[in-house]
Structure 1
Amino acid sequence: MKTTKETILKESFKLFLAKGYDGTSVPDIERAAKITRGAIFHHFANKEDIFKQSADYFVLSFLEEVNYGEEYLNSATPLKAFMGKSLKIIEARMEKFLQKTTEKITPASFMSFTLYLKDHYEGWQEKAIEYEKLKIENWERAINLAKEKNEIRPDTNTTLLASTFHNLYMGLSYGGALVDKLSIPELQRLWDYVYQQQTIK
């Protein structure tokens, strides 16, 4: 059961995605959440506070660090296993996003919202950089293990390969949002191609 604060955050987030920050008013939030203004300001200082907390609640939770499990650590092909697990996590994350919003909200709206945060949420850039760092580190861990187990060439540049996998995902996410949404099969196809270039023949 949602709390009043969660209801306000969810409805506000949907409005910010659909109409932008400037296009969303407090009366809009009142109507969407079916909550009085007094109840809104009981939980939040102002519209900016709602905006920042909705970003923390939805965007950061969408990007938050996840548990990749230990299966890939024990696999004879840890990088291949890590790729498969990552694809499942991305797909589940996309489904969760659609469930939390509505069919009217598109991935493009989400991308636009995250870009807006860069210039309108102090400290957001640092959070984004930390997210990127953690993702690259996870890839590097899997790649180094793959080198140890002779899954891929020992002379593979770990950092470069990790960045390639991650940047392919980010690029397809933004590119896919322009048309519809990220294509999991296309991401898998590109990851598999990069992977095949590094395996020991």
Structure 2
Amino acid sequence: MGRGEESRERILAISLKLFMKMGYRGTSLADICKATGLTKGALYHHFSGKDDLYVHALDSFFQYSRVPRWMTDQTLSLRDRIHQGFKELDSSKAWIMDTVGSSQDDAILQFYSFLYEATRRCPEYQQRLDEYDRMKHQALADVFRKAQETGQLRKDIDPEATAIELDALLQQLLYLRFVNHRVRMDDFLLEQMVENYWRRLVPLEHDISKDSRGLPG
């Protein structure tokens, strides 16, 4: 990567954090110049204006995302996949804080506000989010379907609906991991949630204790 490309990437990274923190309207070219240490002329060397910079910053953020590994790792049992999904909430929280550039709990609000504004101003990025969700739900549905075939999962549960439900549950818990004191601080409570969720999925005749991780069967 040449120096020009490095400078461009640096501008995009810094601008993205400003757009996340202050929104499109609240972020001026003067703010970006101050944060990057560049003149407006230097910015115009890379971008035609604020709109062009905003779109490129969004494009760098909404680039193709891979489905989380725990959803596709064939070496994990169904029980371990679900446990890993809950366990990765904290790594997702750390990623959001780093992306927004804030260690405060309101980082999640800034993040969601940024997503809402970005997808309303540029609907094509909503399509990218929808496609990412579709890939996640398909991966999870495949996992649940195979688990039904092997007897690990109740056969009266719809795999597609269960996939969407689990993804929605994890997103809600991620939010609570920021704003709810007990959910944020009590790791054992999170383990109990994993166990409760697992009990709802397995057949009644299934020996839950065989798949538990030290919690009562």
Verify same fold: TM over 0.5: yes
SS in 2 for 1:3: helix
CA RMSD of aligned residues (A): 3.0
- Cα distance change of structure 1 residues 83 and 132 upon mapping to structure 2, 3 Å threshold: same
- Cα distance change of structure 1 residues 12 and 159 upon mapping to structure 2, 3 Å threshold: same
Q: List aligned pairs for 1:152-171, cutoff 5 A.
A: 152-171=153-172
Q: Does structure 1 retain, via aligned residues, the 8 Å contact 2:147–2:153?
A: yes
Name the counterpart of 2:50.
Answer: 47
Name the counterpart of 1:99.
Answer: 98
Name the counterpart of 2:126.
Answer: 125
Identify the match of residue 20 of structure 1 among 16, 19, 23.
23
Deviation at 1:190? Answer: 3.8
Deviates more, 1:190-199 or 1:126-135: 190-199
SS in 2 for 1:137: helix
- Cα distance change of structure 1 residues 187 and 55 upon mapping to structure 2, 3 Å threshold: farther
The percentage of aligned residue pairs carrying the same residue is: 23
- Cα distance change of structure 1 residues 187 and 70 upon mapping to structure 2, 3 Å threshold: closer
- Cα distance change of structure 1 residues 158 and 171 upon mapping to structure 2, 3 Å threshold: same
Q: Which has the larger radius of gyration?
A: 2
Deviation at 1:149? Answer: 2.3
Aligned length: 196
Name the CA distance, whole Å, in 2 between partners of 1:125 and 1:34. 32
Deviates more, 1:124-133 or 1:170-179: 170-179
Name the CA distance, whole Å, in 1 between partners of 2:134 and 2:108. 23
Ranges in structure 1 where 5+ consecutive residues have no aligned partner = none
Deviation at 1:107? Answer: 1.4
Normalised TM-score (structure 2): 0.75
Deviation at 1:191? Answer: 4.5
- Cα distance change of structure 1 residues 54 and 94 upon mapping to structure 2, 3 Å threshold: farther
Residue identity in the other structure for 2:155: P
Q: Does structure 1 retain, via aligned residues, the 8 Å contact 2:21–2:110?
A: yes
Name the CA distance, whole Å, in 2 between partners of 1:14 and 1:73. 36
Normalised TM-score (structure 1): 0.81
Name the counterpart of 1:86.
Answer: 85
